[in-house]
Amino acid sequence: MTRPFSALDSNIDQALLNSLRPEARNAPTSGIIDIVNYAREKEGLVPLWVGEGSLPTPDFICEAAHQSLKAGETFYTWQRGLPELRQAIADYHQALYGRTFDSEHFIVTGSGMQAIQIAVRLVAGAGDEIVIPTPAWPNMAAATGLTGARFVEVPQYFSHDGWKLSIDDLLAACTDKTKAIFLNSPCNPTGWTASLDDLQQVLDFARARGLWIIADEIYTRFFYEERQGGNGELGPTAPSFYEICKEDDRILFVNSFSKNWAMTGWRIGWISAPTALGDVLENLVQYSTSGVAAFMQRAAIAALKEGEPFVAEQVERARAGRKTVLDALAKVPGAKFAPPSGAFYLFWGLEKHEDGGALAREIVDQANVGLAPGFAFGQSGTPFMRLCFATNPENLALAATRLQGWMAQR
Ligand SMILES: Cc1ncc(COP(=O)(O)O)c(C=O)c1O
5 CA from centroid of ligand 1 (Å): 35
Give yes or no: residues 319 and 243 share one domain.
Answer: no
112 CA from centroid of ligand 1 (Å): 5
What are the residue ranges in the chain where pLDDT is below 50? 1
Give yes or no: residues 344 and 373 share one domain.
Answer: yes
86: Cα within 13 Å, side-chain hemisphere: 20
Q: Which amino acid is at 280?
A: V
Assign residue 370 the CATH number of its domain. Answer: 3.90.1150.10
Give yes or no: residues 287 and 323 share one domain.
Answer: no
Give yes or no: residues 113 and 187 share one domain.
Answer: yes
Is residue 137 assigned to a domain? yes
Cβ atoms 219, 342 nearer than 8 A: yes
Q: What is the DSSP letter of 180?
A: E
Q: Which atom of ligand 1 is nearest to the CA of 112?
A: 11
Give yes or no: residues 277 and 361 share one domain.
Answer: no
Give yes or no: residues 111 and 43 share one domain.
Answer: no
Q: Which domain holds residue 206?
A: 59-306
What residues form DSSP beta bridges with 346? Answer: 387
Q: Which atom of ligand 1 is nearest to the CA of 268?
A: 11
DSSP 3-state of 184: strand
246 CA from centroid of ligand 1 (Å): 25
Q: What is the pLDDT of residue 235?
A: 77
Q: Is 190 in the pocket of ligand 1 (CB under 6 A)?
A: no
Is residue 8 assigned to a domain? no
Q: What is the pLDDT of residue 219?
A: 98
Where is the domain boundary, 306, 331, 348? 306
Where is the domain boundary, 277, 306, 335? 306
Is residue 371 assigned to a domain? yes
For the beta carbon of residue 162, count every other beta carbon within 10 angstroms.
Answer: 16
Mutating to test ligand 1, I would choose from 256, 296, 389 the residue with most ligand atoms within 8 A of its C-beta, which is: 256
Tens-place pLDDT, residues 115-141: 999 999 999 999 999 999 999 999 999
- Total domain count, the chain: 2
Is residue 259 assigned to a domain? yes
Give yes or no: residues 174 and 322 share one domain.
Answer: no
Q: What is the pLDDT of residue 192?
A: 98
Give yes or no: residues 131 and 214 share one domain.
Answer: yes
Q: Which atom of ligand 1 is nearest to the CA of 51?
A: 14
CA dihedral over 79, 138, 373, 32, signed as positive or negative: positive
Please name the residue whose Cα sits nearest to atom 1 of ligand 1: 188
Where is the domain boundary, 306, 333, 350? 306
Q: What is the pLDDT of residue 409?
A: 85
Q: Is 137 in the pocket of ligand 1 (CB under 6 A)?
A: yes
Residue 347: φ, ψ to 5°: -105, 105
Give yes or no: residues 351 and 299 share one domain.
Answer: no
- C-alpha span between 99 and 95 (Å, rounded): 8
- C-alpha span between 16 and 144 (Å, rounded): 24
Could you tell me the pTM of the whole model?
0.95
What distances in angstroms separate CA 161 from CA 86, 249, 312, 339, 341, one per listed residue?
A: 39, 33, 26, 7, 10
Give yes or no: residues 263 and 385 share one domain.
Answer: no
| Beta strand spans in 244-326 (E) | 251-256, 269-272
Mutating to test ligand 1, I would choose from 32, 89, 139, 192 the residue with most ligand atoms within 8 A of its C-beta, which is: 139
Cβ atoms 107, 149 nearer than 8 A: no
Q: What is the pLDDT of residue 1?
A: 47
Assign residue 206 the CATH number of its domain. Answer: 3.40.640.10
Q: Is 111 in the pocket of ligand 1 (CB under 6 A)?
A: yes
Give yes or no: residues 271 and 400 share one domain.
Answer: no
Give yes or no: residues 73 and 50 share one domain.
Answer: no
Is residue 5 assigned to a domain? no
11 CA from centroid of ligand 1 (Å): 37
